[in-house]
Structure 1
Amino acid sequence: MYALPRCIQPVYAPILHPKYLNRTRVPSPCPSSGWTRSFHASQNLRIHQLAFDHHDNGGKATGSPIVILHGLFGSKKNNRSMSKALARDLSRPVYALDLRNHGNSPHDSTHNYTALAEDTEAFLQQHKLKDSTLIGHSMGAKTVMTMALRDPDCCSNIIAVDNAPVDAALASDFPRYVEGMRKVEEGRVKSQKEADAILEPYAKDLPVRQFLLTNLIRPSPSEPLKFRIPVRTLANALDDMADFPFTNPDERRFNKRALFVRGTKSHYVTDETLPIIGRFFPRFELVDVEAGHWVISENPESFRRGKPQRLL
Structure 2
Amino acid sequence: MLRCLPRAPHRPAGPRPPSRAAPASFTAAGRGSAAPLPLSYMVFDGSTPQSPLVFLHGLLGSKSNFRAIARALVQRTGRKVLTVDARNHGDSPHSPTMSYEAMSLDVQRLLRQLHLPKCVLIGHSMGGKTAMTLALQQPDLVERLVSVDISPTESVAVTNFQAYISAMRRVSIPNGIPRSTARRLAEDQLYPAVQASAVRRFLLTNLVEVEGRYMWRVNLEAISQHMADIMGFPVFHMPYPGPTLFLAGSDSSYVSSEDYPEIERLFPKAEIHYITGAGHWVHADKSQEFITAICNFLLVP
Give TM-score, length-normalised by structure 2: 0.86
Distance 1:187 1:30, change over 3 A: closer
**Residues in 1 aligned to 2:249 and 2:209: alpha-carbon distance in whole angstroms:** 34
Residue 224, structure 1, aligned to residue 213, structure 2: yes
**Residues in 1 aligned to 2:198 and 2:103: alpha-carbon distance in whole angstroms:** 26
Contact 1:170 1:242 in 2 (8 A): no
Shift in Å, 1:188: 3.6
Residue 52, structure 1, aligned to residue 38, structure 2: no
Residue 192, structure 1, aligned to residue 178, structure 2: no
**Residues in 2 aligned to 1:34 and 1:256: alpha-carbon distance in whole angstroms:** 17
Segments of 5+ residues of structure 1 without an aligned counterpart are 8-26
Contact 1:41 1:118 in 2 (8 A): no
Shift in Å, 1:32: 3.6
Q: Which residue of 1 aligns with 2:164?
A: 177
Q: Which residue of 1 aligns with 2:128?
A: 141
Contact 1:131 1:156 in 2 (8 A): yes
Residue 279, structure 1, aligned to residue 268, structure 2: no
Segments of 5+ residues of structure 2 without an aligned counterpart are 8-17
**Residues in 2 aligned to 1:28 and 1:299: alpha-carbon distance in whole angstroms:** 31
Q: In structure 2, what residue type is equivalent to 1:224? A: R
Shift in Å, 1:162: 0.6
Residue pairs, 1:49-198, within 5 angstroms: 49-57=38-46, 60-169=47-156, 171-184=158-171, 186-188=172-174, 190=177, 191-198=182-189
Shift in Å, 1:31: 7.1
**Residues in 2 aligned to 1:214 and 1:310: alpha-carbon distance in whole angstroms:** 30
Contact 1:64 1:92 in 2 (8 A): yes
- Structure 1 stretches (4+) deviating beyond 6 angstroms? none
Contact 2:54 2:83 in 1 (8 A): yes
Q: In structure 1, what residue type is equivalent to 2:84? A: L
Shift in Å, 1:33: 6.4
Contact 1:136 1:144 in 2 (8 A): yes
Partner SS state of residue 209, structure 1: helix
1:227-276 Cα offsets, whole Å, 9 max, x none, are 11111211112111111112x5xx21111100001111111110111111
**Residues in 1 aligned to 2:159 and 2:129: alpha-carbon distance in whole angstroms:** 19
Q: In structure 2, what residue type is equivalent to 1:288? A: Y
Shift in Å, 1:170: 5.5
Contact 1:102 1:229 in 2 (8 A): yes
Q: In structure 2, what residue type is equivalent to 1:195? A: A
- CA RMSD after TM alignment: 2.2
Shift in Å, 1:173: 1.7
Percent identity reads: 34
**Residues in 2 aligned to 1:44 and 1:132: alpha-carbon distance in whole angstroms:** 22
**Residues in 2 aligned to 1:176 and 1:270: alpha-carbon distance in whole angstroms:** 22
Partner SS state of residue 156, structure 1: strand
Q: Which residue of 1 aligns with 2:11?
A: none
Q: In structure 2, what residue type is equivalent to 1:76? A: K
Residue 253, structure 1, aligned to residue 244, structure 2: no
